[in-house]
């Protein structure tokens, strides 16, 4: 029997199935390209080891009074490792979610996503969830290796607050990734845009150095990045041994940045989608 | 559903549908430093392509409607506008009673789309995974999707290979999956853009049979955009000839072909025709309407074809043959034959057909 009228009422089950299908699709891609998994597992180690050696070469050891003064801790290695692990979420969200729309266009599947009656937000949520799962798997592997080989201390009490911080950070990052996805509909070079954004995070967020090491104007830019608050909060819990009430301000600010980023992300994506459908750029790659 | 004055039932109606693309000019690496001219500042010099120019058409429910035209005629743009992938600049279309500008979600649920061929699937996933994923985009709960995917795989005779990745499929099998995807949500309307492009004769025939059955047995309305005139001729109830974004004619294939009388049509197949064939032959047969050369891939054994249409073309056969021989053309055949849709296209549009245009 051919359907005669418009779409069926969307059920919660159908939306859940859509998110689930998107996750399954992305996970199967990941399994189909095992080198991606190996790269993201190994890459952060190479990333932070260079900075440990560089730091040692500059200050002549693992302690630096000036670093301790600005960071509040003299433990440079755990400082860098936390930076690398959280920065991993930035990379996977930008290259994963942000670039995935471009990949769909390149594969020729974007037209089908856009001409389907589903709410596109659920496709994007599915992409975000699958990236979160893979990023968390990488983060757990990294943390596990760092606890064993680099003497990172992880107490059970901080695990829950760290999880909350990570979730909030991821939400903000996906807002930014959505903006990137929207821009890539028009400008196409998603990889280059992601690369540029990656360095914006690296320069203005306290990944390799404390925020205080930046000039005042750069610190202001850094305050607009969700990674900044997440790094400050996680380091406060893990390195400065502060408790949750001491970081509630960072959590609150992170939440505000999240709301802004997600709102702007969806707005920009929808606007760019409409714009490119008018200009015809949507089908170009 | 849309009713016209005669109370016919239309599934698709386009009303002054227009789409214009701006051409991007490449000004070189330092182009942004160049001073803008007056025309550029006012926007009057903007280079544009009118892909669809006030297209008006009505497709009846249950009709297999062909859209025939060469590459770049506007077929794909029309399909993309109807499927809401592109937003038209002017005019609109009504699909299954829903406006493509205002009721996009309803339009999308009413259509099944085949566009872009085999590349538009996930090759790293299996056929079943692909179909399950695309079913989820159509608001189907998992259980219903699973059942429907099995039905569709059986319909396509692909159940036994459903768990193989598409990268291991042949082009024809992948195209079958692309057609299967369009049927997942059981839509009343199918928009098919070149569904047999690049397929071997066996798979082309299978897809064509499937298309015929989907329309005649299941009652779906089908818009088939193609540049294969034989496909349009064989399958379609009515055909619209589109050229330069405009509909040049709409009618049944028989009536369209009747526009060219048998005595009006001569086709000379030959190798090595003179490069200015049209200008060379024109003074010899002044009463014919069109002389056009369709170059064949002679290196691969496909001769070029010279079509002489209109007037009393038949009368000039011997003159034309003698004239071509004088220019060292090797004539392989001369046909005074039944007109085809290609001849109709040439007569209506006066267009020259390049190799790979309409075939």
- Residue A75 in tokens: 């433990």
Q: Please check the confidence at residue B106 and state whether its pLDDT lies above 70.
A: yes
pLDDT in tens, A130-144: 988 888 888 888 888
In this complex, the residue of A2, A18, A274 whose CB is nearest that of residue B137 is A18
Mention every residue, 6+ apart, whose C-beta is less than 8 A from residue A129.
Answer: A19, A22, A23
pTM: 0.81
Looking at the structure, tell me whether residues B148 and B227 fall in a common domain. Answer: yes
pLDDT in tens, A10-63: 678 888 999 999 999 999 988 888 888 888 788 777 877 887 788 778 777 777
Distance to chain B for A194, nearest Cα, Å: 23
How many domains are contained in chain B?
2
Q: Report residue B251's pLDDT band, with 50, 70 and 90 as the boundaries.
A: very high
Looking at the structure, tell me whether residues B313 and B333 fall in a common domain. Answer: yes
- Tell me the average pLDDT across B50-73: 93
In this complex, the residue of A5, A22, A108 whose CB is nearest that of residue B116 is A108
Contacts with B218 from chain A: Cβ below 8 Å: 2
Q: Report residue B307's pLDDT band, with 50, 70 and 90 as the boundaries.
A: confident
> Residue B224 pairs with which residues in a beta bridge?
B66, B192
Q: What are phi and psi of A166, to 5 degrees?
A: -60, -45
Domain CATH code at residue B314? 3.30.70.3100
At B110 the pLDDT is 95
* Spatial contact of A3 and B185, defined as CB atoms under 8 Å apart: yes
* Spatial contact of A258 and A226, defined as CB atoms under 8 Å apart: yes
At A283 the pLDDT is 65
Looking at the structure, tell me whether residues B196 and B300 fall in a common domain. Answer: no
* Spatial contact of B54 and B91, defined as CB atoms under 8 Å apart: yes
Looking at the structure, tell me whether residues B265 and B236 fall in a common domain. Answer: no
| Domain contains B60 | yes
Q: Report residue A1's pLDDT band, with 50, 70 and 90 as the boundaries.
A: very low
pLDDT in tens, B173-226: 999 999 999 999 999 999 999 999 888 888 889 899 989 999 998 899 999 999
pLDDT in tens, A75-98: 788 888 889 889 888 888 888 777
| Domain contains B85 | yes
Taken in order A91, A92, A98, A99, the sign of the CA dihedral is positive
Looking at the structure, tell me whether residues B196 and B79 fall in a common domain. Answer: yes
Looking at the structure, tell me whether residues B94 and B139 fall in a common domain. Answer: yes
Domain boundary among B204, B234, B252: B252
Distance to chain B for A245, nearest Cα, Å: 43
**Is the Cβ pair B86, A28 closer than 8 Å?**
no
* Spatial contact of B161 and B192, defined as CB atoms under 8 Å apart: no
Q: What are phi and psi of B331, to 5 degrees?
A: -80, 130
| Domain contains B348 | no
Expressed in percent and rounded to 5, the helix, strand and coil fractions of chain A are: 80, 0, 20
At B352 the pLDDT is 55
Looking at the structure, tell me whether residues B11 and B71 fall in a common domain. Answer: yes
Residue B260: is it exposed, middle or buried by C-beta count within 10 angstroms (0-12/13-18/19+)?
buried
Q: What value does the mean pLDDT of chain B take? A: 87
DSSP H or E segment with residue B246: strand B246-251
Residue B151, domain extent: 2-23+47-252
| Domain contains B210 | yes
Looking at the structure, tell me whether residues B248 and B278 fall in a common domain. Answer: no
ipTM value, please give it: 0.82
Q: Please check the confidence at residue B65 and state whether its pLDDT lies above 60.
A: yes
Q: Please check the confidence at residue A273 and state whether its pLDDT lies above 60.
A: yes
| Domain contains B41 | no
- Tell me the average pLDDT across B320-347: 87
DSSP H or E segment with residue A278: helix A248-279
Domain CATH code at residue B177? 3.40.50.300
Q: DSSP states of B184-242 as a string?
A: TT--SEEEEESTTTT--HHHHHHHHHHHHHHHHTT--EEEEEES-HHHHHHH-SEEEEE
| Domain contains B35 | no
Looking at the structure, tell me whether residues B174 and B303 fall in a common domain. Answer: no
Contacts with A123 from chain B: Cβ below 8 Å: 137
| Domain contains B193 | yes
Looking at the structure, tell me whether residues B110 and B243 fall in a common domain. Answer: yes
**Is the Cβ pair B80, A111 closer than 8 Å?**
yes
Mention every residue, 6+ apart, whose C-beta is less than 8 A from residue B251.
Answer: B238, B239
Contacts with B21 from chain A: Cβ below 8 Å: 279-280
- The owner of tokens 């009618």 is B251
Cα–Cα distance for residue pair B239/B223, rounded to 1 Å? 10
Looking at the structure, tell me whether residues B76 and B11 fall in a common domain. Answer: yes
Indicate the range of A44-53, A170-179, A269-278 predicted with least confidence: A44-53
- The owner of tokens 């607050």 is A161
Looking at the structure, tell me whether residues B184 and B315 fall in a common domain. Answer: no
At B5 the pLDDT is 45
At A8 the pLDDT is 53
**Is the Cβ pair A3, B186 closer than 8 Å?**
yes
Q: Report residue B335's pLDDT band, with 50, 70 and 90 as the boundaries.
A: confident
| Domain contains B148 | yes
Q: Please check the confidence at residue B44 and state whether its pLDDT lies above 60.
A: no
């Amino acid at each position: 029997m051919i359907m005669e009228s418009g779409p069926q009422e969307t059920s919660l089950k159908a939306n859940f199935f859509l998110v689930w299908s998107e996750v399954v699709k992305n996970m199967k891609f990941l399994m189909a390209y095992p080198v991606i998994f190996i790269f993201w597992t190994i890459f952060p180690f190479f990333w932070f080891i260079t900075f440990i050696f560089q730091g040692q070469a500059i200050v002549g050891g693992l302690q630096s009074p000036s670093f301790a003064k600005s960071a509040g801790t003299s433990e440079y290695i755990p400082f860098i490792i936390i930076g690398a692990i959280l920065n991993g979420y930035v990379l996977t969200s930008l290259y994963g979610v942000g670039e995935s729309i471009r990949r769909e266009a390149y594969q020729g599947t974007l037209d089908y996503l856009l001409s389907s009656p589903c709410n596109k937000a659920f496709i994007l949520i599915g992409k975000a969830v699958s990236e979160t799962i893979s990023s968390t798997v990488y983060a757990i592997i990294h943390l596990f290796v760092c606890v064993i080989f680099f003497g990172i201390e992880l107490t059970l009490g901080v695990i829950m607050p760290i999880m909350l911080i990570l979730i909030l950070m991821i939400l903000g990052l996906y807002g930014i990734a959505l903006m990137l996805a929207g821009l890539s509909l028009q400008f196409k070079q998603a990889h280059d845009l992601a690369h540029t954004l990656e360095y914006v995070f690296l320069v203005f967020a306290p990944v390799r150095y404390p925020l205080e090491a930046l000039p005042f104007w750069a610190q202001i830019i850094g305050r607009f990045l969700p990674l900044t608050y997440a790094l400050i909060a996680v380091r406060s819990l893990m390195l400065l041994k502060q408790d949750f009430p001491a970081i509630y301000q960072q959590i609150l600010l992170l939440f505000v940045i999240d709301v802004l980023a997600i709102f702007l992300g969806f707005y920009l994506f929808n606007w760019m989608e409409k714009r490119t459908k008018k200009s015809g750029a949507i089908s170009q790659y | 559903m849309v009713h016209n004055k005669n109370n016919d039932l239309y599934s698709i109606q386009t009303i002054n549908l227009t789409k214009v693309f701006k051409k991007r000019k490449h000004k070189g690496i330092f182009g942004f430093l160049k001073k803008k001219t007056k025309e550029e500042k006012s926007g009057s010099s903007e280079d544009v392509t009118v892909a669809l120019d006030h297209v008006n058409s009505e497709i009846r429910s249950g009709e297999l409607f062909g859209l025939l035209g060469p590459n770049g005629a506007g077929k794909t743009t029309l399909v993309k506008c109807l499927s809401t992938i592109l937003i038209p600049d002017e005019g609109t279309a009504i699909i299954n009673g829903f406006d493509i500008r205002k009721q996009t979600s309803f339009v999308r649920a009413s259509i099944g789309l085949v566009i872009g061929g085999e590349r538009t699937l996930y090759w790293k996933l299996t056929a079943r995974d692909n179909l399950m994923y695309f079913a989820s985009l159509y608001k189907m709960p998992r259980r219903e999707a699973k059942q429907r995917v099995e039905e569709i795989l059986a319909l396509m005779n692909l159940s036994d290979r459903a768990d193989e990745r598409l990268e291991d499929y042949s082009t024809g099998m992948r195209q079958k999956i692309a057609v299967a995807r369009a049927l997942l949500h059981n839509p009343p309307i199918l928009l098919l853009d070149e569904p047999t492009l690049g397929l071997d004769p066996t798979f082309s025939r299978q897809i064509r049979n499937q298309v015929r059955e989907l329309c005649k047995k299941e009652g779906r309305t089908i818009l088939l955009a193609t540049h294969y005139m034989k496909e349009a001729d064989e399958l379609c109830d009515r055909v619209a000839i589109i050229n330069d974004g405009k509909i040049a004619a709409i009618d049944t294939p028989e009536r369209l072909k009747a526009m060219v009388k048998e005595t009006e049509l001569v086709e000379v197949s030959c190798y090595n025709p003179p490069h200015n064939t049209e200008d060379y032959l024109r003074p010899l047969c002044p009463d014919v309407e069109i002389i056009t050369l369709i170059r064949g891939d002679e290196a691969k054994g496909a001769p070029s074809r010279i079509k002489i249409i209109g007037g009393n073309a038949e009368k000039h056969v011997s003159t034309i043959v003698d004239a071509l021989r004088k220019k060292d053309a090797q004539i392989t055949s001369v046909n005074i034959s039944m007109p085809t849709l290609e001849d109709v296209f040439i007569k209506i549009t006066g267009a020259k057909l390049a190799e790979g245009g309409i075939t």
